[in-house]
């Protein structure tokens, strides 16, 4: 998608080795943040679901949600994970930069690591507008985005690919479209996977 370093997202889900950013379990702190802004009646959309561990965790907890990703392979893996867990979960392929009108609107849109994959100001602003259009009035957008406060490990060969947003960049992209409800420090990844500092953000549609 335009504004991203990665062109072939689907190719990264080919085979058994998951992409480097995928945790093989739900990120419980992020899921708890999502749950704090949902109720059983909420219509919820996940952008960039990947393998689906967060989506399955939240669906098991009682949320009615649609998990989406640009990668058909990722969506199929998400569906399989939900099937194996006996969880009722709808998963679909979606280009977040061009959502179809038939998708409808949602009470809550959340994403962990989708917004920060857009590396220039215009594309981040475009995605903020796309999310705005997918939300009901006063709807909530929850985002976990890489923080510029993360310090480099000079021995990390992937250090140049970490997404790093400042609070000013975040505020600039959402101002006028969203009210900033909460921003807290967090971590992307856990265990032995990729781990870097994040901004955990909650916005309300203006």
**Could you read off the pLDDT of 172-189 as tens digits, one per residue?**
999 999 999 999 999 988
Q: Are 116 and 173 in contact (CB under 8 A)?
A: no
* 94: three-class secondary structure by DSSP: coil
Sorted by sequence, the CB contacts under 8 Å of residue 97 that are 6+ apart come out as: 1, 2, 126, 127, 130
**Could you read off the pLDDT of 50-60 as tens digits, one per residue?**
999 999 999 99
N-terminal to C-terminal alpha carbon distance within the chain:
26
The predicted structure's pLDDT at residue 174: 97
The predicted structure's pLDDT at residue 138: 98
The predicted structure's pLDDT at residue 4: 72
The predicted structure's pLDDT at residue 20: 82
Tokens 């510029």 -> residue:
148
In angstroms, the CA 199 to CA 106 distance is 23
Backbone angles phi, psi at 148, to 5 degrees: -70, -10
The predicted structure's pLDDT at residue 119: 83
Residues of the chain with pLDDT under 50: none
The predicted structure's pLDDT at residue 5: 67
Burial 78-97 (b: 16+ CB within 10 A, else e): bbebbeeeebebebeebebb
């Amino acid at each position: 998608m335009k504004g991203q370093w990665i062109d072939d997202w689907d190719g990264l889900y080919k085979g058994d080795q998951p992409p480097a950013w995928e945790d093989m379990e739900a990120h419980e702190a992020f899921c708890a943040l999502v749950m704090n802004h949902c109720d059983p009646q909420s219509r919820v959309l996940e952008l960039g679901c990947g393998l689906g561990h967060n989506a399955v965790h939240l669906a098991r907890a009682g949320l009615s949600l649609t998990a989406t990703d640009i990668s058909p392979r990722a969506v199929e893996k998400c569906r399989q994970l939900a099937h194996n867990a006996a969880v009722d979960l709808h998963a679909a392929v979606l280009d977040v930069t061009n959502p179809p009108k038939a998708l409808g609107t949602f009470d809550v849109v959340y994403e962990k690591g989708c917004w920060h994959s857009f590396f220039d100001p215009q594309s981040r602003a475009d995605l903020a507008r796309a999310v705005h259009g997918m939300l009901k009035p006063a709807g909530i957008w929850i985002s976990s985005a890489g923080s510029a406060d993360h310090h480099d490990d000079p021995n990390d060969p992937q250090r140049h690919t970490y997404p790093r947003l400042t609070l000013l960049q975040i505020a600039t992209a959402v101002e006028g479209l969203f009210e900033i409800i909460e921003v807290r420090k967090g971590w992307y990844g856990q265990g032995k996977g990729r781990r870097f500092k994040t901004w955990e953000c909650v916005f309300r549609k203006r």
